Structure 1
Amino acid sequence: MGTPKFSLPTLQKLYESDHKVQLVVTQPDRPKGRGRESTPSPVKQFALEKKIPILQPKKCTSLEVVKTLGELNSDVFIVVAFGQILDKNLLTLPRHFCINLHSSLLPKYRGAAPINWAIINGETKTGVTTMKMDTGLDTGDILLSSKVSISDDDDAQSLHETLAHKGSSLVLETLRQLDSGLLEPICQNSDLASYAPKLKKEDGLIQWNQPAIKIHNLVRGLTPWPGAFSFLESKRFKVCKTEIKSCGSIDQPGVIVRISGHGIEVGTKNERIVITELQPEGKKRMDVKSFLAGHNLIVGKKFT
């Protein structure tokens, strides 16, 4: 059970393994692009290529869906970024249980956007966890986990790809240990839990009076979506890539203090943020050199 690109490496490894993939359950096709054409999920596209049976319920908890899944007599359900909540009727269908792959080291960062919030909060490590699903929000017993370092160059997209592949291996190892009787589920310590709520577009508004590191981490954590952004002369710009530059003085927050082909230097609460890639509204992402070729930007103007 899965929908976006994050689910694909796990499905691919399951398909190539000795395990039998009986059915792929994924979200209904959604309109996408400028033409708003109905588009299948990445998981559905893979299943079609490999001729795996597909189910696309609008509501996976409907009696008809529960009946269909129950008739499979599956050993386990593997759930990776499916996008719908499973209730008790579904969770009790497999012979063993439902296994969920979550992109954090539980109990930290329960919720919808763990990859983004780990970067926004300046974490230097995160990971993936397989858990035995229950009816709570990422509260099930931990089966296995695997750590990953977050580099200074990572953004949400690069970390997403790393964790998707790391997670696919963890799912296969979880199944191997389940088959061998080696799994020892561990109850989560809720006192150590933190949460990663779903992101909204307005979360990306840059507050230039914050420390440079917080702004830098916000940009990294929100790339590519929803994107950190700011306004310059009432025009909206996505800030896609930044660096931090130490300097001897403190500049006025949001004010452009230096412009070069490498980047636009902007004042913050302490150090400078150097914008090296950005995206004007309605345009593609570009480096600063390309941006300056078509925009007359001067020192002293202020981002708000």
Structure 2
Amino acid sequence: MSRPLRVVFAGTPDFAASSLAALLESRHSVVAVYTQPDRPAGRGRRLTASPVKALALEHGLPVLQPETLKPSDVQAELAGFEADIMVVVAYGLILPQAVLDIPPRGCLNVHASLLPRWRGAAPIQRAIEAGDRESGVTIMRMDAGLDTGDMLLVRRTPISATTTGGELHDTLAALGGDAMVEALDALSEDRLTATPQPEEGVTYAAKLSKAEAELDFHQPAESLAAKVRAFNPWPVTWCALGKERLRLLMATASTRRVGDSPQPPGTLLEHDPEALRIACGPQGDEVLHVTRAQLPGGKPLPVRDLLNARGERLAPGSRLGNSAEETS
């Protein structure tokens, strides 16, 4: 068997910690960990270590947290670890070309999409929002571009009609760790082939923002349902409920019942026992079927529990969304 690789790992959030955990269980040796500086978090805004830092410290690994990798002394310190390769997963800092050139075997990245589709910051959520039927991870050799490097390994997973952003995140995090170990094993034995990304099929996954989370019920039911699932658990879609907000956490597009007539978008139709039915679409003739939601001041609950406890706030015929205020 070939010699295990010496690895410098760079990553920050939970998604990256899954890859670090997989590497720590592999035959390869993690010699140092780079992660973002501690950031304020929680109600008290206390400085909090990243999930990657916490895991690295549990295993007694050297942890480095530079604000940037551009200074020459920072690059010299990185070179001093004499790693064969650098593994980068959701690190959050740009790697200058000088850093990419330090490890003899280069820098590898776990990207949470089937490249070249969904390059960029939010590939998991954008895939669900767009109605993609599958996602996956790509192990990529990094270059100076934005997720443009050669592909080394691809692993796929389906997206179902109920997959949420959080569920796909967790699936891809585990898949990414396994795929990276597989790629390092193959690389150490010189049996890994690099494939340039095709020029066709490139899309970009823009960073998520809270401003996107408000639902417009004039949109088609399929689009709204996909957005609800994609934005769970963050930033969570919502609509106006009077002067407050109703948060929607699980939804599918539903067919109209016999006897349903088109209603203004945002109108609550007769409920199912387990769901809210909201008129939507340009003509108000489509239905968004919501099974999990959160009323103001309450906890996220199955809709059947919301209807049992506070159903008067969600009476059929009521209007949701800003359009209700405009016509009131």
Instruction: Report the alpha carbon displacement of residue 260 of structure 1 after superposing the two structures with TM.
Output: 5.1
Matched, 1:99 2:105: no
Matched, 1:199 2:208: yes
Instruction: Report the alpha carbon displacement of residue 288 of structure 1 after superposing the two structures with TM.
Output: 2.1
CA distance in 1, matches of 2:209, 2:37: 22
Q: Which residue of 1 aligns with 2:152?
A: 143
Per-residue Cα deviation, 1:95-126 (whole angstroms, up to 9, x for no partner): 11000000001000000000000000000111
1:276 to 291, 297, 306: 291
Q: Which residue of 2 aligns with 1:256?
A: 268
Number of residues paired by the alignment? 304
CA distance in 2, matches of 1:182, 1:23: 26
Instruction: Report the alpha carbon displacement of residue 26 of structure 1 after superposing the two structures with TM.
Output: 0.6
CA distance in 1, matches of 2:80, 2:296: 50
Instruction: Report the alpha carbon displacement of residue 238 of structure 1 after superposing the two structures with TM.
Output: 1.5
Per-residue Cα deviation, 1:238-283 (whole angstroms, up to 9, x for no partner): 2111133211443321101123542221101243112221123454
Matched, 1:20 2:29: yes
Any unmatched runs of 5+ in structure 2? 1-9, 322-328
Equivalence map 1:193-232=2 (5 Å): 193-232=202-241
**Aligned to 2:312, what secondary structure does the other structure show?**
coil
Q: Which residue of 2 aligns with 1:114?
A: 123
**Aligned to 1:193, what secondary structure does the other structure show?**
coil
CA distance in 2, matches of 1:282, 1:132: 47
Instruction: Report the alpha carbon displacement of residue 60 of structure 1 after superposing the two structures with TM.
Output: 2.5
Per-residue Cα deviation, 1:58-102 (whole angstroms, up to 9, x for no partner): 112232321110111111000011111111011001011000000
CA distance in 2, matches of 1:30, 1:283: 29
2:93 to 81, 84, 90: 84
2:295 maps to a residue whose letter is: P
Q: Which residue of 2 aligns with 1:245?
A: 254
Any unmatched runs of 5+ in structure 1? none
Q: Which residue of 2 aligns with 1:9?
A: 18
CA distance in 2, matches of 1:94, 1:252: 60
Instruction: Report the alpha carbon displacement of residue 211 of structure 1 after superposing the two structures with TM.
Output: 1.3
1:296 to 312, 320, 324: 312
CA distance in 1, matches of 2:200, 2:271: 47
CA separation of 1:237 and 1:62: change in aligned 2, threshold 3 A: farther
Per-residue Cα deviation, 1:6-30 (whole angstroms, up to 9, x for no partner): 1122111111111110011111111
State which structure, 1 or 2, has the greater radius of gyration over its C-alpha atoms. Answer: 2
1:265 maps to a residue whose letter is: R
Equivalence map 1:129-168=2 (5 Å): 129-168=138-177
Q: Which residue of 1 aligns with 2:6?
A: none
Q: Which residue of 2 aligns with 1:287?
A: 302
| Mapped contact 2:226–2:252 kept (Cα < 8 A) | no
Per-residue Cα deviation, 1:167-200 (whole angstroms, up to 9, x for no partner): 1111011111111111111111223211101011
TM-score by length of 2: 0.89
Q: Which residue of 1 aligns with 2:53?
A: 44
**Aligned to 2:114, what secondary structure does the other structure show?**
coil
CA distance in 1, matches of 2:252, 2:183: 39
CA distance in 1, matches of 2:297, 2:187: 50
CA distance in 1, matches of 2:135, 2:297: 34
TM-score by length of 1: 0.96
**Aligned to 1:256, what secondary structure does the other structure show?**
coil
2:29 maps to a residue whose letter is: K
**Aligned to 1:257, what secondary structure does the other structure show?**
coil
